[in-house]
Amino acid sequence: MTLEQNGFWKDRRKAVFWLTMIYGFVAHGFRLTNKFYCDDSWNYMKTISVGWTVAIGRFFLPLVETFRGRYETTWVIGVFSIICIALAAVLIVELFDIKGNVGQALTAAILVVNPAVTGTFAYMYTSDGYFFGMMCSVLSAFLVICIKGRKGIAAGCVALFVTMGLYQSYISVTILLLMLWLLLMLLDPEKKAKELLAMAGRFLLMGAAAMAAYLIGMNVAWKINDTQMADYMGMSDTSGYSVARLLGAVKSSYIEFARFFLVRWELNFYNLSNVILLLSIVALLLWICGKRKLFAQPWRIAVLIVWGLLLPLVTHIYSFISEEVSYISIIMCYSMVLIYLMPILLWQNVAKDTGDFSALFRPEYWKKHLFRALQSVLLACICVHFVVIADQAYERMHLANEQIRNLVNRIQYRMELVEGYTDTCEVALYGNLYQTPEYVPSAPMMPGVVSGLYLTTQRDYSSAIDWFASSDHKWATAERRKELVRNAEFAQMQPWPAADCVKMIDGTIVILLADDEADEFGQTIKDYLEE
């Protein structure tokens, strides 16, 4: 009996959903059962206002907070996030009609164990809203393709509108899914150029309508909340476009695309497996073109080349919105993950199935389908390595939190030794202690608590100290800090961990962590004195 005959695989929707849930718990279970903080999560629970998320165009995120409150309920948020990913996996399997259980199992794994999910879970406090947005981005592609006529365009538009109101970066997920659909049409010799153009036009119409609705909705949200676009990652930049800026965005897109697959240009499993996979995809495309005699139709080959050149651009589309957008934060790169699905979709397109698991254990299958079997095994190994990367990342989250907790407790203890200290007194903090970054060496750079470097400003330290020590200090303003720097007693202080690095000056507890680090105002101690 093959697994295909087993009852578990009779309903692929249920099979893919539960496989995704199981994979998700295996890869991210440690994160779901532990609470790790970063500066953003502390500030979120203490200072980040609803107006901030609205000001950066994510005006649907406050609705998530209305439902669950402003708490980082790790288990609830994590489970809900994995459910959203599981639903997205079901939609993709249905959209591309992936029949073989090998392809279904690999699709489920790729979507939930990849580093983009791990990186997003560094910001657990907002992961539920983000992954609901990701699911809506997949739903948008599903609706515009599967529902014919204007109804499909309208339905896809609504789903994409919701996506952008939660996390704008996921628009690239929709775009890449639509591009994969166009690729399969392009490789089908029965599909004419007119059909391809008509479908592309349909997609563009849906995207334009969704973008128009989003811009209107964003301005309405700003008016209701009495706010405006924040100066965040260059979003408020109105300097316009130039040829040099556009060329810079193109260059940045290609560089960041390469950085996702080739981390630090080192020889490791992540880099090597990605290179082999990408080369195998190119080989598979060439084989399909030869098998279907597509080289006799130059226009298809030309479009295929253009399609490949567009991949880095559409997966990093926000490089064209602002020069300040940074894709170091891997959570913006979820669309890149969909490239790992290409072998599954291409074999599905060629052979109408990807086989079942029992076939992989039969020698005759390997003799007849060696290339397909090797690609399946490679994808499986990549997914297993993704789980290893997740485990490494969460271990670093744990270590970073322990280091910060210990540091904060030491600072708080030194403050309590100062005569006149109360847990509501005014505190002024200068500089920061450099913490060695703890990125996972064999994965794209991850944000948040994956790095040990996430307390840099007085705001960050104040959030951490008040959170861990259950205190409610009054933290000095910029003007007060400048005033204290000029005090004669301040000049006698030595940086941490000297005995006099914490001192009471004119009723304010002053903490000098370092005298050569710029604070959040972009100034060093020397700058204060020169003023």
Helix, strand, coil percentages for the chain (3-state, nearest 5): 70, 5, 30
At 71-91, the pLDDT tens digits run 788 999 999 999 999 999 999
Alpha-carbon distance 295 to 286, whole Å?
A: 9
pTM, to two decimals: 0.89
Give Cβ neighbours of residue 494 (< 8 Å, ≥ 6 apart): 500, 501, 512
Q: Is 147 exposed, middle or buried (0-12, 13-18, 19+ CB in 10 A)?
A: middle
- Band of residue 33 on the pLDDT scale cut at 50, 70, 90: very high
pLDDT surpassing 60 at residue 3 = no
Contact (CB, 8 A) for 112 and 88: no
Which tokens hold the place of 135?
């699911």
Which tokens hold the place of 208?
């334009």
Q: What is the rounded average pLDDT of the residues 42-67?
A: 75
Residue length, the chain? Answer: 531
Domains of the chain, by residue range, sit at: 3-395, 396-530
For residue 63, how many C-alpha atoms fall within 13 Å in the half-sphere facing its CB?
A: 11
Amino acid letter, residue 492: Q
Give Cβ neighbours of residue 114 (< 8 Å, ≥ 6 apart): 334, 337, 340, 386
pLDDT surpassing 80 at residue 241 = no
Taking residue 393's Cβ as centre, other Cβ atoms within 10 Å add up to 26
Amino acid letter, residue 384: V
Amino acid letter, residue 300: R
pLDDT surpassing 70 at residue 527 = no
Q: Is 477 exposed, middle or buried (0-12, 13-18, 19+ CB in 10 A)?
A: exposed
Alpha-carbon distance 108 to 93, whole Å?
A: 9
Average pLDDT of the residues of the chain: 86
pLDDT surpassing 80 at residue 368 = no
Contact (CB, 8 A) for 435 and 452: yes
User: What is the predicted pLDDT for the residue at 365?
Assistant: 72
H/E element, 478: helix 478-485
Alpha-carbon distance 460 to 45, whole Å?
A: 12
- Band of residue 153 on the pLDDT scale cut at 50, 70, 90: very high
Alpha-carbon distance 501 to 507, whole Å?
A: 16
Q: Is 85 exposed, middle or buried (0-12, 13-18, 19+ CB in 10 A)?
A: buried
Q: 3-state DSSP call for residue 502?
A: strand
- Band of residue 189 on the pLDDT scale cut at 50, 70, 90: very high
Q: 3-state DSSP call for residue 508?
A: strand
pLDDT surpassing 70 at residue 235 = no
Which tokens hold the place of 184?
């399969």
pLDDT surpassing 50 at residue 178 = yes
User: What is the predicted pLDDT for the residue at 330?
Assistant: 82
At 468-512, the pLDDT tens digits run 788 888 999 988 988 888 888 988 888 898 989 999 999 999 999
pLDDT surpassing 70 at residue 324 = no
Alpha-carbon distance 185 to 173, whole Å?
A: 19
Which tokens hold the place of 396?
């670093």
Q: Any idea which of 54-63, 249-258, 497-506 has the lowest mean pLDDT?
A: 54-63
Buried b (16+ CB within 10 A) or exposed e, 195-222: ebeebeebbeebbebbeebbeebbeebb
Alpha-carbon distance 211 to 205, whole Å?
A: 10
Which tokens hold the place of 74?
């790790």
Alpha-carbon distance 18 to 494, whole Å?
A: 58
